[in-house]
């Protein structure tokens, strides 16, 4: 059974006339008649009752017609999806991201991409930088939004998108919350909420190095996600050094203040497999923002 058999069958069933069906298919009548005969032989049933004046579809033909239409519809859908995927306008895309990306470039990037390519099915997976890079390398993810890292596998390409200076997140009633800019050394006695090093080595090392430049080693309380850190600040569990883009998370009970004499940047970006030639991935990458330096 071939698609030409099904197309001929559907056309004859809808026209109830071999001549009109042949014209619709841009064929002469004999190939259409032969296709119907071959299909009836293969199915072992009569699809049409023929007389010198008219053609009628049989009950078996009515049943077969539903299936034939469904097969042709799925075939056309397959063809369209293949065309879309080849142009990067269809298919699927798996994106891994750290929470920080959700506070900065990722939402607007996704909005613009989806407006242009609504047929692409996007799956989002929140994770950590080390896990994201591994999953992109193995192909579990197509693209990863992550902290910059010196441990990037050689098979991946990385492009920076943001460099956000550190600001301090304080409980709203903290004495330093009244200042426009906070001297970091005056927070030396505080407990600092910070990423566990395993989950955020760049953030962990940057926070410790920044504090040491201001003359102290911080007492740390580790957490795994940025929203957890900010929530703990709100609850009075300590203070936190966070990238300035986190200020969009307007958590009740938390204020953000720039640091006096300090503009340490935190870099985030996107990685993908260098040899990934998927049109969908390539289309997505064209929406990467130009590297921006946020102001505190």
CA distance 114 to 246: 24
Cβ neighbourhood burial of 234 (10 Å; 0-12, 13-18, 19+): middle
pLDDT band at 90 (very low <50, low <70, confident <90, very high): low
Q: How large is the average pLDDT for residues 207-227?
A: 92
pLDDT of residue 75: 80
pLDDT at residue 82 greater than cutoff 80: no
Q: How large is the average pLDDT for residues 47-59?
A: 86
Q: What percent of the chain has pLDDT over 90?
A: 48
- Residues 198, 230, 183, 105, Cα dihedral to 10°: 80
pLDDT at residue 296 greater than cutoff 60: no
Cβ neighbours of residue 241 closer than 8 Å, sequence gap 6 or more: 166, 167, 168, 169, 192, 194, 206, 207, 210, 211, 259
pLDDT digits (tens, 9 = 90+) for 99-150: 889 888 899 999 999 998 888 899 999 988 888 999 999 999 999 999 888 8
Q: How large is the average pLDDT for residues 34-39?
A: 90
Q: How large is the average pLDDT for residues 18-34?
A: 89
Cβ neighbours of residue 280 closer than 8 Å, sequence gap 6 or more: 85, 88, 90, 91, 92, 93, 117, 120, 142
Domains along the chain? 3-87 (1.10.10.10), 92-160+267-293 (3.40.190.10), 164-264 (3.40.190.10)
Geometric angle at alpha carbon 145, from 111 and 86, rounded to 5°:
60
pLDDT at residue 34 greater than cutoff 80: yes
pLDDT at residue 295 greater than cutoff 60: no
CA distance 165 to 167: 7
pLDDT at residue 155 greater than cutoff 60: yes
pLDDT band at 70 (very low <50, low <70, confident <90, very high): confident
Q: Whole-number mean pLDDT of the chain? A: 88
| Closest among 125, 128, 109 to 226, alpha carbons compared | 128
Q: Could you write out the DSSP letters of every residue in the chain?
A: --HHHHHHHHHHHHHS-HHHHHHHTTS-HHHHHHHHHHHHHHHTS--EEE-SS-EEE-HHHHHHHHHHHHHHHHHHHHHHHHHHHHHTSSSEEEEEE-HHHHTTTHHHHHHHHHHH-TTSEEEEEE--HHHHHHHHHHTS-SEEEEE--TT--TTEEEEEEEEEEEEEEEETTSGGGGSSSB-GGGGTTSEEEEE-TTT-HHHHHHHHHHHHHTT---EEEEESSHHHHHHHHHTTS-BEEEEGGGGGS--TTEEEEEBTT---EEEEEEEEETT---HHHHHHHTTPPPPEE---
pLDDT at residue 182 greater than cutoff 90: yes
pLDDT band at 1 (very low <50, low <70, confident <90, very high): confident
Do 90 and 79 meet the contact criterion of CB atoms below 8 Å apart? no
pLDDT of residue 205: 92
Which structure tokens are listed for 45?
């049933």
Q: How large is the average pLDDT for residues 195-211?
A: 87
The residue ranking higher by pLDDT, 293 or 296, is 293
């Amino acid at each position: 059974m071939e698609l030409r058999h099904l197309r001929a069958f559907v056309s004859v069933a809808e026209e109830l006339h071999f001549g009109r069906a042949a014209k619709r298919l841009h064929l002469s009548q004999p190939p259409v008649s032969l296709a119907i005969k071959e299909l009836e032989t293969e199915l072992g049933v009569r699809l049409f009752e023929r007389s010198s004046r008219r053609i009628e579809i049989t009950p078996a033909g009515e049943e077969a017609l539903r299936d034939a239409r469904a097969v042709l519809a799925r075939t056309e859908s397959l063809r369209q999806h293949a065309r879309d995927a080849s142009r990067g306008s269809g298919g699927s895309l798996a994106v891994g991201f750290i929470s920080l990306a959700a506070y900065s470039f990722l939402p607007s990037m996704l909005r613009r991409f989806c407006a242009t390519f609504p047929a692409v099915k996007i799956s989002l997976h929140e994770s950590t930088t080390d896990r994201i890079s591994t999953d992109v390398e193995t192909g579990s993810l197509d693209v990863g939004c992550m902290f910059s890292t010196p441990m990037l596998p050689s098979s991946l390409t990385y492009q920076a998108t943001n460099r956000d200076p550190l600001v301090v997140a304080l409980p709203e009633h903290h004495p330093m919350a009244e200042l426009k800019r906070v001297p970091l050394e005056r927070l030396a006695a505080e407990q600092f909420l910070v990423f566990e090093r395993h989950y955020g080595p760049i953030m962990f090392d940057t926070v410790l190095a920044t504090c040491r430049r201001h003359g102290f080693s911080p007492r740390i309380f580790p957490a795994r996600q940025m929203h957890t850190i900010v929530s703990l600040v709100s609850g009075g569990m300590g203070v936190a050094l966070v990238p300035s883009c986190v200020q969009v998370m307007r958590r009740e009970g938390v204020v953000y203040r720039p640091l006096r004499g300090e503009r340490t940047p935190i870099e985030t970006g996107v990685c993908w497999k260098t040899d990934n030639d998927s049109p969908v991935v390539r289309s997505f990458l064209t929406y990467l923002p130009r590297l921006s330096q946020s102001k505190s």
